[in-house]
Structure 1
Amino acid sequence: MRLHVRGVGLPDETEIQLWIVDGRISTEPIAGADTVFDGGWIVPGLVDAHCHVGLGHHGEIPLDEAIAQAETERDVGALLLRDCGSPTDTRSLDDRDDMPRIIRAGRHLARPKRYAAGFSRELEDEWQLPDAVAEEARRGDGWIKLVGDWIDRGAGDLAPLWSDDVLAAAIEAAHAHGAGSPRTSSARTRCPA
Protein backbone atom coordinates (compact mmCIF):
# COMPACT_ATOMS: atom_id res chain seq x y z
CA MET A 1 0.00 0.00 0.00
CA ARG A 2 1.34 3.39 -1.04
CA LEU A 3 -0.14 6.46 0.61
CA HIS A 4 0.28 10.20 0.16
CA VAL A 5 -0.67 13.01 2.56
CA ARG A 6 -0.52 16.77 2.08
CA GLY A 7 -1.10 19.40 4.73
CA VAL A 8 0.39 21.96 7.07
CA GLY A 9 3.16 20.58 9.25
CA LEU A 10 3.70 21.58 12.83
CA PRO A 11 5.46 23.29 14.47
CA ASP A 12 6.71 25.24 11.41
CA GLU A 13 3.26 25.70 9.83
CA THR A 14 4.62 25.04 6.34
CA GLU A 15 2.92 22.95 3.68
CA ILE A 16 4.42 19.47 3.50
CA GLN A 17 3.83 16.29 1.57
CA LEU A 18 4.66 12.83 2.86
CA TRP A 19 4.55 9.40 1.25
CA ILE A 20 4.09 6.20 3.23
CA VAL A 21 5.11 2.77 1.93
CA ASP A 22 5.19 -0.36 4.12
CA GLY A 23 4.90 1.74 7.28
CA ARG A 24 7.85 3.96 6.35
CA ILE A 25 7.47 7.71 5.89
CA SER A 26 9.38 9.50 3.15
CA THR A 27 9.58 13.05 1.83
CA GLU A 28 10.46 11.68 -1.63
CA PRO A 29 7.52 11.19 -4.03
CA ILE A 30 6.38 7.60 -4.53
CA ALA A 31 4.76 6.70 -7.85
CA GLY A 32 1.25 5.30 -7.64
CA ALA A 33 0.55 6.53 -4.09
CA ASP A 34 -3.11 7.20 -3.21
CA THR A 35 -3.72 10.63 -1.67
CA VAL A 36 -5.61 9.87 1.55
CA PHE A 37 -5.32 13.28 3.21
CA ASP A 38 -5.23 16.69 1.52
CA GLY A 39 -5.46 19.77 3.72
CA GLY A 40 -5.40 20.23 7.46
CA TRP A 41 -2.66 19.72 10.01
CA ILE A 42 0.03 17.04 10.02
CA VAL A 43 1.61 16.35 13.39
CA PRO A 44 4.22 13.79 14.38
CA GLY A 45 3.16 10.77 16.40
CA LEU A 46 2.79 11.32 20.12
CA VAL A 47 4.67 9.50 22.89
CA ASP A 48 2.94 8.01 25.91
CA ALA A 49 5.83 8.17 28.36
CA HIS A 50 4.11 6.15 31.09
CA CYS A 51 1.69 3.38 30.24
CA HIS A 52 1.16 -0.28 31.09
CA VAL A 53 0.07 -2.20 27.98
CA GLY A 54 -1.06 -5.59 29.23
CA LEU A 55 -2.00 -4.50 32.75
CA GLY A 56 -5.64 -4.58 33.83
CA HIS A 57 -7.41 -3.66 37.05
CA HIS A 58 -6.36 -6.95 38.66
CA GLY A 59 -3.05 -7.59 36.93
CA GLU A 60 -2.34 -9.68 33.85
CA ILE A 61 -4.84 -9.59 30.99
CA PRO A 62 -5.20 -11.72 27.85
CA LEU A 63 -3.11 -10.66 24.85
CA ASP A 64 -6.19 -9.62 22.85
CA GLU A 65 -7.04 -7.08 25.57
CA ALA A 66 -3.43 -5.82 25.54
CA ILE A 67 -3.72 -5.41 21.77
CA ALA A 68 -6.91 -3.39 22.29
CA GLN A 69 -5.03 -1.14 24.74
CA ALA A 70 -2.26 -0.58 22.18
CA GLU A 71 -4.86 0.12 19.47
CA THR A 72 -6.48 2.74 21.70
CA GLU A 73 -3.09 4.41 22.17
CA ARG A 74 -2.49 4.34 18.41
CA ASP A 75 -5.96 5.66 17.62
CA VAL A 76 -5.38 8.78 19.75
CA GLY A 77 -2.04 9.43 18.04
CA ALA A 78 0.53 7.76 20.32
CA LEU A 79 3.01 5.95 18.10
CA LEU A 80 5.68 5.31 20.75
CA LEU A 81 4.77 3.81 24.12
CA ARG A 82 7.03 3.62 27.16
CA ASP A 83 5.55 0.63 28.96
CA CYS A 84 6.55 0.98 32.61
CA GLY A 85 5.92 -2.63 33.60
CA SER A 86 3.33 -5.24 32.72
CA PRO A 87 2.69 -8.87 33.63
CA THR A 88 1.49 -9.62 30.07
CA ASP A 89 4.14 -10.45 27.47
CA THR A 90 3.45 -8.00 24.63
CA ARG A 91 6.62 -8.62 22.60
CA SER A 92 4.57 -10.21 19.78
CA LEU A 93 3.19 -6.72 19.02
CA ASP A 94 6.68 -5.69 17.88
CA ASP A 95 6.16 -7.61 14.63
CA ARG A 96 2.99 -5.71 13.72
CA ASP A 97 3.22 -2.61 11.53
CA ASP A 98 -0.22 -1.44 12.68
CA MET A 99 0.84 -1.14 16.34
CA PRO A 100 2.75 1.62 18.13
CA ARG A 101 6.37 0.87 18.95
CA ILE A 102 6.69 -0.24 22.58
CA ILE A 103 9.74 0.24 24.79
CA ARG A 104 9.11 -1.96 27.80
CA ALA A 105 10.43 -2.58 31.29
CA GLY A 106 9.11 -6.11 31.77
CA ARG A 107 7.28 -6.96 34.95
CA HIS A 108 7.44 -5.08 38.28
CA LEU A 109 9.62 -6.91 40.82
CA ALA A 110 8.46 -6.91 44.45
CA ARG A 111 8.26 -8.96 47.63
CA PRO A 112 5.06 -10.92 48.45
CA LYS A 113 2.13 -8.67 49.38
CA ARG A 114 4.33 -5.58 49.04
CA TYR A 115 2.72 -4.15 45.91
CA ALA A 116 -0.70 -4.03 44.27
CA ALA A 117 -2.09 -7.57 43.98
CA GLY A 118 -1.49 -9.19 40.59
CA PHE A 119 0.74 -6.43 39.23
CA SER A 120 4.21 -7.67 40.15
CA ARG A 121 6.35 -10.76 40.08
CA GLU A 122 6.58 -11.57 43.79
CA LEU A 123 9.91 -12.89 45.06
CA GLU A 124 9.76 -14.95 48.27
CA ASP A 125 13.46 -14.51 49.09
CA GLU A 126 15.04 -11.12 48.47
CA TRP A 127 18.16 -12.85 47.10
CA GLN A 128 16.05 -13.97 44.12
CA LEU A 129 16.14 -10.36 42.96
CA PRO A 130 19.44 -10.42 40.98
CA ASP A 131 18.30 -13.43 38.90
CA ALA A 132 14.83 -11.94 38.43
CA VAL A 133 16.41 -8.66 37.30
CA ALA A 134 18.51 -10.56 34.75
CA GLU A 135 15.39 -12.32 33.41
CA GLU A 136 13.39 -9.10 33.19
CA ALA A 137 16.33 -7.34 31.50
CA ARG A 138 16.19 -9.97 28.77
CA ARG A 139 12.39 -9.61 28.56
CA GLY A 140 12.41 -5.82 28.51
CA ASP A 141 14.13 -3.20 26.41
CA GLY A 142 16.99 -2.08 28.62
CA TRP A 143 15.37 -1.12 31.88
CA ILE A 144 13.92 -2.78 34.95
CA LYS A 145 10.99 -1.86 37.19
CA LEU A 146 11.75 -2.44 40.88
CA VAL A 147 9.31 -1.69 43.66
CA GLY A 148 11.62 0.10 46.09
CA ASP A 149 9.26 0.41 49.03
CA TRP A 150 5.65 -0.28 49.82
CA ILE A 151 3.35 -0.66 52.77
CA ASP A 152 4.70 -3.14 55.32
CA ARG A 153 2.30 -3.22 58.23
CA GLY A 154 4.79 -5.19 60.32
CA ALA A 155 7.60 -2.65 59.94
CA GLY A 156 5.70 0.61 59.50
CA ASP A 157 3.72 2.37 56.83
CA LEU A 158 6.45 2.35 54.18
CA ALA A 159 9.61 0.27 54.31
CA PRO A 160 12.27 -0.71 51.77
CA LEU A 161 11.74 -4.09 50.09
CA TRP A 162 15.40 -4.86 49.48
CA SER A 163 18.56 -4.70 51.59
CA ASP A 164 21.45 -2.62 50.30
CA ASP A 165 23.52 -5.72 49.39
CA VAL A 166 20.67 -7.29 47.41
CA LEU A 167 19.89 -4.05 45.63
CA ALA A 168 23.56 -3.56 44.68
CA ALA A 169 23.73 -7.14 43.33
CA ALA A 170 20.51 -6.58 41.38
CA ILE A 171 21.85 -3.39 39.78
CA GLU A 172 25.05 -5.22 38.86
CA ALA A 173 22.94 -8.01 37.28
CA ALA A 174 20.91 -5.44 35.35
CA HIS A 175 24.04 -3.89 33.88
CA ALA A 176 25.51 -7.32 33.07
CA HIS A 177 22.39 -8.14 31.05
CA GLY A 178 22.21 -4.92 29.08
CA ALA A 179 19.92 -2.86 31.27
CA GLY A 180 21.41 0.49 32.07
CA SER A 181 19.94 3.91 32.51
CA PRO A 182 17.16 4.61 32.85
CA ARG A 183 16.28 2.20 35.62
CA THR A 184 13.07 2.86 37.45
CA SER A 185 12.11 2.28 41.05
CA SER A 186 8.63 2.80 42.40
CA ALA A 187 9.57 4.25 45.77
CA ARG A 188 8.11 6.77 48.15
CA THR A 189 11.01 6.77 50.61
CA ARG A 190 14.75 7.09 50.12
CA CYS A 191 16.12 4.19 48.09
CA PRO A 192 19.69 3.29 49.21
CA ALA A 193 20.96 2.54 45.69
Structure 2
Amino acid sequence: MAQHNPGPQYQQQWGPGRPQQPMPPVPRKKSGAGRIIGFGCLGVIAFFVVIGVIGAALGAGGDESAEKPAAPAAPKEPGGGEKKDKGEEKPREEPEEEAPAPIQVTAEAADFRPTILADGEEYTSVLVTVVNNSAEKVGVNPLYFEVTAADGSKYDVELAADERQIDTVELTEGEKVTGTVTVKGKIEPKTVTFTDGLFGDSIRADVG
Protein backbone atom coordinates (compact mmCIF):
# COMPACT_ATOMS: atom_id res chain seq x y z
CA MET A 1 0.00 0.00 0.00
CA ALA A 2 1.56 3.23 -1.09
CA GLN A 3 2.34 5.92 1.49
CA HIS A 4 1.32 9.48 0.76
CA ASN A 5 4.12 11.98 1.35
CA PRO A 6 2.50 15.21 2.09
CA GLY A 7 5.83 17.08 1.33
CA PRO A 8 8.07 18.99 3.59
CA GLN A 9 6.37 20.69 6.41
CA TYR A 10 7.65 23.01 8.90
CA GLN A 11 7.33 21.62 12.24
CA GLN A 12 6.81 24.19 14.86
CA GLN A 13 8.11 22.07 17.59
CA TRP A 14 10.69 23.17 20.01
CA GLY A 15 12.80 21.08 22.10
CA PRO A 16 16.02 19.29 22.31
CA GLY A 17 16.95 17.31 19.35
CA ARG A 18 14.55 19.09 17.19
CA PRO A 19 15.64 21.60 14.57
CA GLN A 20 14.94 25.16 15.45
CA GLN A 21 12.75 27.22 13.22
CA PRO A 22 14.93 29.66 11.28
CA MET A 23 14.63 33.20 12.47
CA PRO A 24 13.24 35.68 10.02
CA PRO A 25 15.93 38.06 8.63
CA VAL A 26 16.50 41.12 10.84
CA PRO A 27 16.55 44.33 8.89
CA ARG A 28 20.09 45.79 8.97
CA LYS A 29 20.52 49.21 10.40
CA LYS A 30 22.07 51.81 8.16
CA SER A 31 25.77 52.01 8.87
CA GLY A 32 27.06 55.22 10.43
CA ALA A 33 30.40 55.03 8.55
CA GLY A 34 29.15 57.31 5.79
CA ARG A 35 28.03 59.88 8.28
CA ILE A 36 31.39 59.76 10.02
CA ILE A 37 33.24 60.21 6.72
CA GLY A 38 31.02 63.14 5.75
CA PHE A 39 31.44 64.88 9.05
CA GLY A 40 35.19 64.18 8.94
CA CYS A 41 35.62 65.93 5.55
CA LEU A 42 33.64 68.94 6.71
CA GLY A 43 35.78 69.14 9.87
CA VAL A 44 39.03 69.08 7.89
CA ILE A 45 37.80 71.84 5.58
CA ALA A 46 36.63 73.93 8.53
CA PHE A 47 40.01 73.38 10.24
CA PHE A 48 41.97 74.68 7.26
CA VAL A 49 39.61 77.67 6.92
CA VAL A 50 40.19 78.62 10.56
CA ILE A 51 43.96 78.17 10.18
CA GLY A 52 43.91 80.43 7.10
CA VAL A 53 41.98 83.17 8.93
CA ILE A 54 44.34 83.07 11.92
CA GLY A 55 47.42 83.13 9.66
CA ALA A 56 46.09 86.15 7.74
CA ALA A 57 45.42 88.03 10.98
CA LEU A 58 48.90 87.25 12.33
CA GLY A 59 50.51 88.25 9.03
CA ALA A 60 48.72 91.60 9.00
CA GLY A 61 49.75 92.33 12.58
CA GLY A 62 53.32 91.22 11.90
CA ASP A 63 53.70 93.64 8.99
CA GLU A 64 52.76 96.59 11.18
CA SER A 65 54.91 95.58 14.13
CA ALA A 66 57.89 94.38 12.10
CA GLU A 67 61.06 96.27 12.81
CA LYS A 68 62.50 98.38 10.06
CA PRO A 69 65.70 96.99 8.57
CA ALA A 70 68.79 98.49 10.10
CA ALA A 71 70.56 101.09 8.01
CA PRO A 72 73.71 99.77 6.33
CA ALA A 73 76.90 100.59 8.18
CA ALA A 74 78.90 103.49 6.77
CA PRO A 75 81.86 102.33 4.69
CA LYS A 76 85.18 102.65 6.43
CA GLU A 77 88.05 104.68 5.16
CA PRO A 78 91.46 103.02 4.63
CA GLY A 79 92.66 104.53 7.89
CA GLY A 80 90.00 102.62 9.86
CA GLY A 81 87.50 105.41 10.49
CA GLU A 82 84.04 105.46 9.09
CA LYS A 83 83.65 107.31 5.86
CA LYS A 84 81.28 110.21 6.14
CA ASP A 85 78.75 111.09 3.57
CA LYS A 86 79.66 113.96 1.34
CA GLY A 87 76.57 115.77 2.53
CA GLU A 88 77.88 115.66 6.13
CA GLU A 89 81.30 117.05 5.34
CA LYS A 90 81.79 120.48 6.79
CA PRO A 91 83.32 123.11 4.56
CA ARG A 92 86.88 123.88 5.36
CA GLU A 93 87.27 127.04 7.31
CA GLU A 94 89.91 129.30 5.91
CA PRO A 95 92.43 130.26 8.59
CA GLU A 96 91.98 133.80 9.71
CA GLU A 97 94.76 136.11 8.71
CA GLU A 98 96.74 137.29 11.70
CA ALA A 99 96.55 140.98 12.36
CA PRO A 100 99.84 142.72 11.59
CA ALA A 101 102.03 143.79 14.49
CA PRO A 102 101.60 147.42 15.60
CA ILE A 103 105.16 148.14 14.44
CA GLN A 104 106.91 146.12 11.76
CA VAL A 105 110.68 146.23 11.24
CA THR A 106 112.58 144.56 8.38
CA ALA A 107 116.32 144.59 7.70
CA GLU A 108 118.66 143.56 4.91
CA ALA A 109 122.39 143.87 4.27
CA ALA A 110 123.46 146.91 2.25
CA ASP A 111 126.64 148.43 0.89
CA PHE A 112 128.22 151.34 2.74
CA ARG A 113 128.04 154.77 1.06
CA PRO A 114 130.22 157.16 3.04
CA THR A 115 129.45 160.80 3.59
CA ILE A 116 132.02 163.59 3.90
CA LEU A 117 131.84 163.08 7.65
CA ALA A 118 133.14 159.51 7.49
CA ASP A 119 136.69 159.35 8.87
CA GLY A 120 137.98 156.76 6.38
CA GLU A 121 137.61 153.76 8.66
CA GLU A 122 135.61 150.67 7.75
CA TYR A 123 131.86 150.70 8.35
CA THR A 124 128.96 148.30 7.95
CA SER A 125 125.49 149.46 6.91
CA VAL A 126 122.11 147.73 7.17
CA LEU A 127 119.01 148.91 5.28
CA VAL A 128 115.95 148.96 7.57
CA THR A 129 112.25 149.73 7.09
CA VAL A 130 109.84 150.68 9.88
CA VAL A 131 106.04 150.48 9.33
CA ASN A 132 103.49 151.89 11.78
CA ASN A 133 100.31 149.73 11.85
CA SER A 134 98.94 151.22 15.06
CA ALA A 135 96.66 154.18 15.65
CA GLU A 136 99.34 155.85 17.75
CA LYS A 137 102.28 157.80 16.39
CA VAL A 138 105.69 156.11 16.29
CA GLY A 139 108.92 158.09 16.54
CA VAL A 140 111.91 156.91 14.48
CA ASN A 141 115.51 157.98 15.07
CA PRO A 142 118.87 156.39 14.07
CA LEU A 143 119.75 156.27 17.76
CA TYR A 144 116.77 153.93 18.40
CA PHE A 145 118.62 151.09 16.61
CA GLU A 146 121.24 148.58 17.66
CA VAL A 147 123.08 146.04 15.45
CA THR A 148 124.10 142.57 16.64
CA ALA A 149 126.89 140.71 14.81
CA ALA A 150 126.95 136.98 14.06
CA ASP A 151 129.39 136.44 16.96
CA GLY A 152 126.91 138.08 19.39
CA SER A 153 128.72 141.43 19.63
CA LYS A 154 126.44 144.50 19.87
CA TYR A 155 127.19 147.80 18.11
CA ASP A 156 125.74 151.27 18.46
CA VAL A 157 124.87 153.27 15.37
CA GLU A 158 127.36 155.86 13.98
CA LEU A 159 125.52 159.05 12.99
CA ALA A 160 125.97 160.67 9.56
CA ALA A 161 128.42 158.01 8.34
CA ASP A 162 126.20 156.70 5.47
CA GLU A 163 124.49 159.06 3.06
CA ARG A 164 121.29 157.00 3.14
CA GLN A 165 120.92 157.16 6.91
CA ILE A 166 117.32 156.67 8.10
CA ASP A 167 115.50 159.92 8.85
CA THR A 168 114.31 161.12 12.20
CA VAL A 169 110.55 161.16 11.71
CA GLU A 170 107.26 160.56 13.45
CA LEU A 171 105.07 158.00 11.68
CA THR A 172 101.29 158.11 11.82
CA GLU A 173 99.07 155.10 11.20
CA GLY A 174 99.94 153.36 7.91
CA GLU A 175 103.16 155.33 7.29
CA LYS A 176 106.64 153.85 6.89
CA VAL A 177 110.25 154.98 6.51
CA THR A 178 113.32 153.30 4.99
CA GLY A 179 117.02 154.10 5.47
CA THR A 180 120.35 152.74 6.67
CA VAL A 181 121.82 152.32 10.10
CA THR A 182 125.63 152.13 10.17
CA VAL A 183 128.14 150.79 12.68
CA LYS A 184 131.90 151.22 12.79
CA GLY A 185 133.96 148.21 11.74
CA LYS A 186 133.60 145.42 9.19
CA ILE A 187 131.17 142.91 10.73
CA GLU A 188 128.65 140.30 9.68
CA PRO A 189 125.32 141.76 10.87
CA LYS A 190 122.82 139.22 12.18
CA THR A 191 119.95 141.23 13.71
CA VAL A 192 118.79 144.81 14.11
CA THR A 193 116.83 145.87 17.20
CA PHE A 194 114.51 148.91 17.17
CA THR A 195 113.31 150.42 20.46
CA ASP A 196 110.24 152.62 20.29
CA GLY A 197 111.28 155.90 21.94
CA LEU A 198 114.45 154.50 23.53
CA PHE A 199 112.53 153.18 26.56
CA GLY A 200 109.56 151.57 24.80
CA ASP A 201 109.09 148.06 23.44
CA SER A 202 111.99 146.53 21.51
CA ILE A 203 111.42 144.91 18.10
CA ARG A 204 114.09 142.71 16.57
CA ALA A 205 114.47 141.87 12.88
CA ASP A 206 116.80 139.36 11.26
CA VAL A 207 119.13 140.73 8.60
CA GLY A 208 118.26 139.10 5.27
Shorter-chain TM range is under 0.3
Please identify the structure whose Cα radius of gyration is greater.
2
* Larger RCO: 1 or 2 (CA < 8 Å, sep 6+): 2
Q: Scaled by the length of structure 2, what TM-score is found? A: 0.21
Q: Scaled by the length of structure 1, what TM-score is found? A: 0.22
Which structure has the highest helix share of the two? 1
